[in-house]
Structure 1
């Protein structure tokens, strides 16, 4: 009788252990599947266009196998090659089928570069494309680009992108969150050392703000502006692989 009871208890224990093992394996599989999901953007831009021609920019946004119909933000930023500081940012139209589009035109011949800034599912990505308008860059422009690229060769990395999320309303003596997204070869760039250099135009005092990586490729810090005016915010980026980049941004602080 005792042996039967012991045998029954042993069978029950083995059954419980097997069930726990199955739950653990299932949970790990679900976690792995969730971790493997990526925010991806298929950015479609014509290779060529004529000056003044209407051009469609299209971003097809997916998260794993899911079409993202409710992205937090999709904006297109474009500029003439070699003149990124003078860029134009436009909102997209959400077609509610996972695609986001906008119509643009370019007034003059040249080579134009652009990002599709996309935020969804607490992730950010910004694929980059280019388009040749008309005859493309003139000989003078090509020479200027070559000189600029040679001058900045040690400092700039092809495929690297910085997207500073400019705060909508900055007020004096109020703590302001500053956020930047980094990307290298269309992938979030993690484990970087990112700092903001902040100064009021005309002032010799420069403040430095350290950041923390809150999401892959997303770096945040906070700063309190003491006076109203136009400030310069320079994002400095370095990492252990020798990356050394910076980008300058102007922000307005109101009373």
Structure 2
């Protein structure tokens, strides 16, 4: 009788231990799901075409995981005529406090216009790209822009350099670039800034470090007032090699 009693107790103990083990596994599985990083997504809506003089709405719907982002730090639409990105125009958005952000743009000339929806929220940055055809593009004279041909050479690759403002000589300036591939952060790339005065052969190099996914920062101290040439070089193990050139003006 006593032997049966202790056997019964042993079986109960084994059942309880097995149940606890299953519960721990379930808790770990739930914790792992909770710890999975959420993704910042932007559904960027732009009409495929428009006529000259039409008012076009640019609309970005921002989500973070399943949550609609009603308090994005920034949603700015950058618009330029294809091949003329240096002449781009930024349009601040209106926050409708329901996860959507809009701006209105009127196009005065025929052409193909490209645009980014620069979006910063939850300490992340993304910049989906769209294009719109305005008017009669068959009669628009186009000319290849070699500078941007290199930048646009890799399908799906986008580069956004956060051009510093109010740069002062003798003060450390942060240099930051956001990289994407197919609208997702481009991670583990090698990013270097090549910096020099205009019309001089002397160059200095600054290695950037990746902090947040797809965000690369470095710092540089400009020694004198004047104009500097800055080239962002990007490479990775998938044979990506891109560069983009900018002009930095040190005014004080």
> Do the two structures share a fold, i.e. TM-score over 0.5?
yes
Kept in 2, the 8 Å contact 1:196–1:235? The answer is yes
Q: Give the Cα–Cα distance (whole angstroms) in 2 for the partners of residues 172 and 245 of structure 1.
A: 29
Kindly indicate whether residue 223 of structure 2 is the aligned counterpart of residue 219 of structure 1: no
Per the alignment, do residues 49 and 91 of structure 1 end up closer, same or farther by CA in structure 2, a change over 3 Å counting? same
Of 165, 168, 173 in structure 2, the residue corresponding to residue 171 of structure 1 is 168
Q: Give the Cα–Cα distance (whole angstroms) in 2 for the partners of residues 225 and 12 of structure 1.
A: 71
Q: Give the Cα–Cα distance (whole angstroms) in 1 for the partners of residues 200 and 234 of structure 2.
A: 23
Of 172, 188, 196 in structure 1, the residue corresponding to residue 185 of structure 2 is 188
Q: Give the Cα–Cα distance (whole angstroms) in 2 for the partners of residues 24 and 157 of structure 1.
A: 41
SS at match of 2:202: coil
Q: Give the Cα–Cα distance (whole angstroms) in 2 for the partners of residues 40 and 50 of structure 1.
A: 30
CA drift at 1:95: 1.4
SS at match of 1:140: coil
Give RMSD over aligned pairs.
2.8
Per the alignment, do residues 13 and 226 of structure 1 end up closer, same or farther by CA in structure 2, a change over 3 Å counting? farther
Q: Show the counterpart of 1:56.
A: 57
SS at match of 2:211: strand
CA drift at 1:16: 6.4
Q: Give the Cα–Cα distance (whole angstroms) in 2 for the partners of residues 166 and 48 of structure 1.
A: 31
CA drift at 1:90: 1.9
Per the alignment, do residues 201 and 78 of structure 1 end up closer, same or farther by CA in structure 2, a change over 3 Å counting? same
Per the alignment, do residues 183 and 155 of structure 1 end up closer, same or farther by CA in structure 2, a change over 3 Å counting? closer
CA drift at 1:20: 4.5
Q: Give the Cα–Cα distance (whole angstroms) in 2 for the partners of residues 66 and 211 of structure 1.
A: 32
Q: Show the counterpart of 2:108.
A: 107
Aligned residues: 248
Kept in 1, the 8 Å contact 2:150–2:243? The answer is no
Q: Give the Cα–Cα distance (whole angstroms) in 1 for the partners of residues 150 and 173 of structure 2.
A: 34
SS at match of 2:170: coil
Matches within 5 A, 1:61-210: 61-138=62-139, 140-141=141-142, 144-145=143-144, 152=149, 156-210=153-207
Larger Rg: 2
Runs of 5+ unmatched residues, structure 1:
none
TM-score (norm 2): 0.86
Of 29, 32, 44 in structure 1, the residue corresponding to residue 33 of structure 2 is 29
Kept in 1, the 8 Å contact 2:175–2:218? The answer is yes
Kept in 2, the 8 Å contact 1:180–1:220? The answer is yes
Q: Give the Cα–Cα distance (whole angstroms) in 2 for the partners of residues 60 and 152 of structure 1.
A: 30
SS at match of 1:241: coil
Q: Show the counterpart of 1:253.
A: 250
